[in-house]
Chain A
């Protein structure tokens, strides 16, 4: 019994955070209160809560970003299934095809995924689907890719999409929008890897951090939805950060606001929509060179 308990402890919300905290750097009072704020409220039911923010920025004439956030909670004797879909897409291309591409991508993907999951989530009896979540999200990107190619030729878009089901996040990612796990202790950890030339060269050790920061081709993508014959998104499944947040944003945010300020903007806010507003304001305060989109999600309970 005891051995088993040790091996498979009941998930207890408060312990992991403070245990981790004790082995990392000491926390400020503010951080501790942020953790306490997170852990003090214990709900029996799991649910997703979300905030979103968007701005055209200070230097662009068009908004080529699109985002989508959709949250559903089911709880009953058949179980408790938090379900959410969160997508950020950053379009590019001439003739306004950039905005067409990003807008189409988020809608096509969401429509595709919902049609696939509908029968399993919103009907009885409910049972696991045969097709895997990674296959579904991967196909949705292919679907969006085909659509952009035929309806917005020349357009392309990044896509970072998170499908949350239960306590897992299945992510599909193309381009240089990013998903992050943000933890109450101040860690802001990227989940995705940019599909950009600069990142590629950096990963291969051919550019160091400084060289990368000053690299002239920072905006060269090596993969985008709508571009190229075949599209291969990065698809991974990871546990939802608990306690913590999932953040998805376009480079209009991460390109100008550093991790520390991102964490501050999130930790200082009393709600997720306010946190997103803080983030957008921080990006605009830093010059707002590009469109800004951000989605913040928390899994509570």
Chain B
């Protein structure tokens, strides 16, 4: 009930009820079943104030145009005036020692139970002030409170404090309960300088699942806690969790719509409709764990925005498995969460076993990896660093053994090879039945796909690592001679050359009647079809990555650790996205998503329009390979030797295939088959 903390205490009961009534009447009128409505003036404007944040403490500002939700300050003068003072004794039995908590309805005190004169028996006394003006309402409230206390007194669980007593004096009701030696989790989070360790939080999460399961299994009606949040979880001196604040825990009958209650930030969307099932507790538990792991208080964030703040983006030390459990518990749609706290506990146990938080049972993960068998594989004489091309049923791929290989796409059968005098690290292009590819022997080779014989060659003055791009009757290709060559396809001679200041490894891209190419000096050039410079853009380090465009923007990465989006027409930077390390990978586009690998070992997915990270997937070594999108999957290699297949919208791993060497080339996917080369000298064909 922290939500009304800033209001003068004597309005609180009125407001709480007014709010409920208003919410019931206005918001979810059709579910309304309470008849207390008639006691209240429905035009009472207080409901509005309840979600308005006074911007400075103590100063109450009524906003006439708009209200803003936000953090709500707790504590005020009138609350403390009403507080019991240390030394005071309640009902001749409970000697107040200190205030240990201030909540929505009153204070929580530490008190000594004087019925045990020979020992110091401490109890917690939770006070609830009842200021409903209408005596009938007041009576109903007291009755509800007593019914509640009776229910709580029957609960016997290690994580629930024992209820010793309850009584009402004047307009106040008191609940006397077991005093927990410890701190509430909110205080633990705030008082810990860095992040709390994962194993610690997993253990608490498992205990919380246990106690919630106990409540949910309550007979005859399940008890929904409804207000799971760090300040309602105490950590006792043994480090075990105790659930406090059953103030709003209500017995729940399926199908009965309750009232909107709970703490903003931790409550699931459906709770705003007055629905609270065990799935609501699962969401709030997820929100509590998210807060504990990230230190980001959800009350300060837009409602239901956890998905925008993945745990591991804020706290990279958390395992992806734990993050996945939290994500599931925080699904907007209740049906997509864990079906029960038991199921959530099972998932947490699995994580704890895997990460060693609980014990050290080795994960049986390897079975799945080896289950992927290649359709065929073909062995060359040296590393394969380049990428394949498929043309009329054949795979063409260059190798560091200086040959370009032609293999049957169906079974990998060798058809021919064409020798050059240098390594081939690029991807061939095809035009009119002829293959075009560069070699470290400084030449652009043009070879007939049918015969495997040379048609013509073109000399540059440096090694060629760039792949050719064919457009406008020309092959555009960069070379270590620092020049972009526009080679006429008919004559085999250069129509023009554009000289830059540095070697070119990036593959040119043609769009908007411009040729885009990056250099090892970090300059991106836009060159028109006559060889004239239209614009250029300086990155801080090499641009080895090959640019791509959509309708408006040009995308590429740099070794400077940035993924760039430039206005394709004029070179103005639209956005920059920070990768954790440099990148030589080339981006891929699908829908509004941009994908790229980086030397930090991650494959990233970024929103094209907003440059927001959608997900990242961590491999075990650098990702120099460029991602390929096929249907709803992304394929990408890593220097860790694996080819990864991810669901491209979510970044979830579908499968991975282990080769025996780093994979730096980019996969080719056609007709549900992936073709990839590896530094283990092999070309593999795998079912996509």
A binds B: yes
Show the binding face of A for B, using Cβ within 8 Å.
Answer: 1, 4, 8, 10, 64, 79, 81, 90-95, 98, 127-135, 153-154, 156, 158, 165-168, 170, 175-176, 195, 197, 200-201, 204-206, 215-217, 219-224, 227-229, 234-239, 290
DSSP class of B's interface residues: helix, strand, loop or mixed? loop
Nearest Cβ in chain A — how far from B623, in angstroms? 24
B65 contact from A98, A206, A229, A235, Cβ within 8 A: A98
CB pair A236–B65 under 8 Å, yes or no, is no
Sample 9 A-B pairs with CB under 8 A, ordered by A number. A128-B573, A131-B576, A167-B569, A175-B66, A206-B272, A227-B70, A235-B611, A236-B609, A238-B552
Cβ-closest chain A residue relative to B270: A206
Q: Does B244 contact A (CB under 8 A)?
A: no
Whole-angstrom CA separation of A68 from B481 in the bound complex = 51
Chain A hits for B574, CB < 8 A: 132-134, 168, 170, 237
Q: Does B26 contact A (CB under 8 A)?
A: yes
Whole-angstrom CA separation of A219 from B67 in the bound complex = 6
Proximity bits, B556-581, A CB within 8 Å = 1, else 0:
00000000111101111111100000
Cβ-closest chain A residue relative to B275: A206
CB pair B567–A220 under 8 Å, yes or no, is no
CB pair B63–A94 under 8 Å, yes or no, is yes
CB pair A134–B575 under 8 Å, yes or no, is yes
CB pair B269–A206 under 8 Å, yes or no, is yes
Nearest Cβ in chain B — how far from A54, in angstroms? 16
Nearest Cβ in chain A — how far from B137, in angstroms? 22
Proximity bits, B55-74, A CB within 8 Å = 1, else 0:
11001011111111111000
Q: Does B27 contact A (CB under 8 A)?
A: yes
Interface size on B, residues (CB 8 A): 60
Cβ-closest chain A residue relative to B610: A236
Q: Does B422 contact A (CB under 8 A)?
A: no
Whole-angstrom CA separation of A37 from B553 in the bound complex = 30
Chain B hits for A195, CB < 8 A: 302
The stretch among B115-123, B191-199, B505-513 that forms the contact with chain A is: B505-513
Whole-angstrom CA separation of A167 from B553 in the bound complex = 11
Q: Does B551 contact A (CB under 8 A)?
A: yes
Q: Does B411 contact A (CB under 8 A)?
A: no
A217 contact from B54, B67, B569, Cβ within 8 A: B67
Nearest Cβ in chain A — how far from B529, in angstroms? 10
Whole-angstrom CA separation of A50 from B551 in the bound complex = 25
The 10 residue pairs across chains A and B that have the minimum distance between CB atoms: A132-B573, A94-B61, A154-B55, A134-B575, A216-B26, A236-B609, A92-B66, A128-B571, A92-B65, A222-B302
CB pair A216–B573 under 8 Å, yes or no, is no
CB pair A237–B332 under 8 Å, yes or no, is no
With contact pairs A201-B272, A206-B270, A239-B552 given, residues A166 and B570 touching in the complex (Cβ less than 8 Å):
yes
Q: Does B273 contact A (CB under 8 A)?
A: yes
Whole-angstrom CA separation of A229 from B26 in the bound complex = 31
CB pair B576–A167 under 8 Å, yes or no, is no
Q: Does B304 contact A (CB under 8 A)?
A: yes
Whole-angstrom CA separation of A166 from B68 in the bound complex = 36
Nearest Cβ in chain A — how far from B671, in angstroms? 23
Whole-angstrom CA separation of A46 from B603 in the bound complex = 39
CB pair A1–B472 under 8 Å, yes or no, is yes
Nearest Cβ in chain B — how far from A18, in angstroms? 19
Chain A hits for B609, CB < 8 A: 236-238
With contact pairs A201-B272, A228-B70 given, residues A134 and B611 touching in the complex (Cβ less than 8 Å):
yes
CB pair A168–B63 under 8 Å, yes or no, is no
| Residue among B68, B69, B302, B332 with max Cβ neighbours from chain A (10 Å) | B68
Whole-angstrom CA separation of A133 from B538 in the bound complex = 15
Chain B hits for A221, CB < 8 A: 66-69
CB pair B66–A200 under 8 Å, yes or no, is no
Cβ-closest chain A residue relative to B23: A216
Nearest Cβ in chain A — how far from B371, in angstroms? 38
B572 contact from A95, A153, A166, A235, Cβ within 8 A: A166
CB pair A133–B273 under 8 Å, yes or no, is no
Whole-angstrom CA separation of A289 from B471 in the bound complex = 58
Whole-angstrom CA separation of A1 from B510 in the bound complex = 12
CB pair A237–B575 under 8 Å, yes or no, is yes
Q: Does B1 contact A (CB under 8 A)?
A: no
Nearest Cβ in chain B — how far from A67, in angstroms? 16
B567 contact from A158, A165, A234, Cβ within 8 A: A165
CB pair A153–B552 under 8 Å, yes or no, is no
Chain B hits for A206, CB < 8 A: 269-270, 272-273
Chain B hits for A91, CB < 8 A: 65
Nearest Cβ in chain B — how far from A191, in angstroms? 10
Chain B hits for A158, CB < 8 A: 66
CB pair B27–A204 under 8 Å, yes or no, is no
CB pair B68–A92 under 8 Å, yes or no, is yes
Q: Does B473 contact A (CB under 8 A)?
A: yes
Nearest Cβ in chain B — how far from A227, in angstroms? 5
Nearest Cβ in chain B — how far from A295, in angstroms? 20
CB pair A220–B68 under 8 Å, yes or no, is yes
A94 contact from B62, B70, B566, Cβ within 8 A: B62
Chain B hits for A79, CB < 8 A: 570
